[in-house]
Amino acid sequence: MKITRTYSKMAREATVLLGKEIQVARKERAWSEQVLADRIGISRTTLQKIEAGDMTVAIGLVFEAAVILGIPIFLEENPSLSKSIRNTTDKLTLLPKRIRNKTKKVKDDF
């Protein structure tokens, strides 16, 4: 039997914010979802859930993603989560939508 849980607004916003910060840090490093998922030891689908702020993902996996990317989990001051989510969303908007490995074409015609 599936249990339906309800979460506070603060908890939902916190998971969305951390998920977006993980996504930004991953994209800034030009890592694909699969690369980060492999480093954490999870599936790409689970990573997508983490980045979306899905409340059903184990907290240990979320923290592991944050640690691998160097994201501080606890701050001394607690800024408004809504404002932080907006700022992180704006940052994501500025990053390229697709991660590509840049390969140089080899000129081998002598």
pLDDT value of position 79:
60
pLDDT digits (tens, 9 = 90+) for 23-45: 999 999 999 999 999 999 999 99
What is the model's pTM?
Answer: 0.70
Mean pLDDT of 85-92: 85
How far is the CA of 67 from the CAs of 36, 60, 77, 104, in angstroms? Answer: 12, 10, 19, 32
Mean pLDDT of 86-109: 75
Instruction: Give residues with Cβ within 8 angstroms of 25, minimum separation 6.
Output: 69, 70, 71
Burial 58-68 (b: 16+ CB within 10 A, else e): eeebbebbbeb
Say yes or no to pLDDT of 77 above 60.
Answer: no
